[in-house]
């Protein structure tokens, strides 16, 4: 036999006898003994076989998905996902005419400016907003989606904000309950917003790509 084969043979791992043969038998035996003893004991005390099933418990509902504070979906910069703004849209320009007014009765608009600006948004934003309004109604019957800011014509955001193109919006539930924001963020993801950011304790920020980039 060539020497390299001998070397190979001597290197091959030795087979160990698996433990799996002996162990379960030992365990099974002692478990069986324990169970029987417990059964006998319990029957003596109560007169009811210990193996009788208790009242059936309903299976716990699976936990609902929520976003964590400061979480972004997807976890990239807003600009990388939805594109930087070209310019601030100004009322009375052709760009303003591309915005649509959201008239969904299932959405509450804060409209703190009193100008209806928060109802103005890009077409894609309008679509996703209406979708989310449905999800919110199903999730919390009697509550509505609330928009605290959408299109901004007053320069209240940073210079590059998607709010200026009606492609960014700030959202809560109509009861303004901060504890619902994590779930609202996930519903916004489910509704199809391109970028969702659990920005702070008082709102979720969402953004969409420009209509021509969809
Ligand atoms: Zn915002």
For tokens 């999800």, what's the residue? 135
Q: If you measure from the C-alpha of residue 47 to the centroid of ligand 1, how many angstroms do you get, rounded to a whole number?
A: 67
Same-domain status, 41 and 79: no
Gap between the Cα atoms of 96 and 98, Å rounded:
5
Q: If you measure from the C-alpha of residue 171 to the centroid of ligand 1, how many angstroms do you get, rounded to a whole number?
A: 8
Q: If you measure from the C-alpha of residue 169 to the centroid of ligand 1, how many angstroms do you get, rounded to a whole number?
A: 5
Q: Please compute, for residue 111, the number of CA atoms within 13 A of its CA located in the half-sphere on the CB side.
A: 11
Q: If you measure from the C-alpha of residue 16 to the centroid of ligand 1, how many angstroms do you get, rounded to a whole number?
A: 64
Q: Choose among 172, 142, 152: nearest CA to 112.
A: 152
Q: Choose among 125, 81, 82: nearest CA to 104.
A: 125
pTM beyond 0.95: the answer is: no
Same-domain status, 34 and 77: no
Same-domain status, 34 and 84: no
Same-domain status, 162 and 99: yes
Count: domains in the chain: 2
Same-domain status, 47 and 84: no
End-to-end Cα spacing for the chain = 70
pLDDT at 54: 60
Q: If you measure from the C-alpha of residue 185 to the centroid of ligand 1, how many angstroms do you get, rounded to a whole number?
A: 13
Return the CATH number at 114.
3.30.1380.10
Q: If you measure from the C-alpha of residue 152 to the centroid of ligand 1, how many angstroms do you get, rounded to a whole number?
A: 10
Gap between the Cα atoms of 41 and 47, Å rounded:
10
Angle between helix axes 181-191 and 123-139 (nearest 10 degrees) is: 130
Same-domain status, 114 and 154: yes
- Domain membership flag for residue 2: no
Same-domain status, 136 and 34: no
- Domain membership flag for residue 79: yes
pLDDT at 2: 55
Same-domain status, 34 and 116: no
Q: If you measure from the C-alpha of residue 136 to the centroid of ligand 1, how many angstroms do you get, rounded to a whole number?
A: 19
Query: 65-97 pLDDT, tens per residue?
Result: 999 999 999 999 999 999 999 999 999 999 999
- Give the residue with greater pLDDT, 3 vs 199: 199
Same-domain status, 42 and 146: no
Query: 21-38 pLDDT, tens per residue?
Result: 444 444 444 444 444 444
Query: 101-156 pLDDT, tens per residue?
Result: 999 999 999 988 899 999 999 999 999 999 999 999 999 999 999 999 999 999 99
- Give the residue with greater pLDDT, 6 vs 205: 205
Same-domain status, 36 and 83: no
Same-domain status, 33 and 124: no
Same-domain status, 104 and 183: yes
The domain in which residue 35 lies consists of 19-52
pLDDT at 28: 43
Gap between the Cα atoms of 213 and 78, Å rounded:
15
Q: If you measure from the C-alpha of residue 168 to the centroid of ligand 1, how many angstroms do you get, rounded to a whole number?
A: 6
């Amino acid at each position: 036999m060539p020497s390299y084969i001998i070397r190979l043979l001597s290197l091959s791992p030795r087979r160990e006898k698996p433990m799996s043969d002996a162990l379960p038998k030992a365990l099974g035996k002692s478990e069986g003994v324990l169970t029987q003893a417990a059964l006998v004991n319990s029957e003596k005390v109560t007169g009811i076989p210990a193996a009788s099933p208790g009242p059936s418990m309903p299976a716990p509902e699976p936990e609902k998905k929520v976003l964590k504070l400061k979480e972004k979906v997807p976890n990239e910069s807003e600009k990388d996902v939805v594109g930087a703004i070209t310019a601030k849209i100004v009322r009375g320009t052709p760009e303003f005419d591309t915005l649509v007014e959201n008239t969904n009765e299932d959405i509450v608009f804060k409209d703190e400016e009193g100008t209806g600006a928060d109802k103005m948004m890009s077409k894609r934003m309008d679509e996703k907003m209406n979708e989310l309004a449905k999800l919110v109604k199903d999730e919390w019957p009697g509550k509505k989606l609330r928009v605290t800011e959408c299109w901004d014509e007053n320069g209240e955001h940073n210079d590059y904000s998607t709010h200026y193109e009606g492609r960014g919006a700030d959202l809560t539930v109509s009861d303004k309950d901060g504890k619902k924001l994590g779930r609202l963020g996930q519903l916004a993801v489910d509704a199809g917003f391109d970028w969702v950011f659990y920005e702070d304790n008082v709102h979720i920020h969402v953004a969409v790509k420009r209509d021509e980039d969809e």
